[in-house]
Amino acid sequence: MFVSPEVRRTIRALSLACLLAAPIHSHAAQTEEDIQVKVARHGDTVAVHAQMSVPVDARQAYAVLTDYDHMRQFLPGLDESRILSRTKDSLLVRQAGKVRFGWFAVPFEYVRRVELYPDARLVSHIVSGSVKKGDVTTSLNALNGRTVITYDSEAVMGVWLPFGIGNAAIAAHVRQDLDSMRSEMLRRRQAAGAANAE
């Protein structure tokens, strides 16, 4: 039976969409309630607003968020993460790796400048790389013995994203990264507590 090239492309695209969706939603369900993520698109710009609460103090949370030289150890998908230079109030950071959407991986690499407001806020801007534009503000607020972390970003990708990667898939990826950050914060809090008990 003859199948036109257009139909074959549509079948491949739908198959990819199904593969992308399967592994992502299972992880998202685990963190849906306590890590809130909203994704919106405006033309080529992808805007993300996310928030989570972690039972650590702001100093501990900030230490993890700014530990770029060791971020490969606890953030999935990073092949490189290092501080290129630093001043009293800012860092120049290079990161590279892959963002996985199911079976598909999107490579990235960039250099960004991070403005430091200790234990309160991080503001970063992409200065070069595969992301055309990337502005991120991460805020930390103490509340009832916890730290509420709010993440706001606007990005314009410089790489092609395949059919089927929509807002839900992007939100799931952001949740996974935030969940990994939270796990590292909790691990360090526990390690500090054990050290103090000795």
pLDDT in tens, 54-78: 999 999 999 999 999 999 999 988 9
Whether this model's pTM surpasses 0.85: no
Q: Look up residue 107 and give its two tokens.
A: 């490579």
Full residue range of the structural domain in which residue 78 is found = 5-197
- pLDDT greater at residue 196 or residue 185: 185
Task: Compare 115 and 102 and report the one with higher pLDDT.
Answer: 115
153: which strand partners? 48, 136
Task: Decide: helix, strand or coil at residue 64.
Answer: helix
pLDDT at 19 over 80: no
Q: Tally the domains of the chain.
A: 1
Q: In what helix (H) or strand (E) does residue 190 lie, and over which residues does it extend?
A: helix 167-197
Q: What is the dihedral of CA 178, 179, 183, 185, to 10 degrees?
A: 20
16 three-state secondary structure:
helix
What distance in Å separates the CA atoms of residue 66 and residue 166, rounded to the nearest whole number? 29
CATH code at 79? 3.30.530.20
Distance from the Cα of residue 87 to its chain's centroid:
25
Tell me the C-alpha distance between 112 and 160, whole Å.
21
Q: Is the predicted pLDDT of residue 5 greater than 70, yes or no?
A: no
The answer to whether the CB of 99 falls within 8 A of the CB of 109 is no
Which token pair is 135?
């502005």
Condensed to tens digits (0 to 9), the pLDDT of residues 128-176 reads 998 888 999 999 999 998 999 999 999 987 655 555 567 888 898 899 9
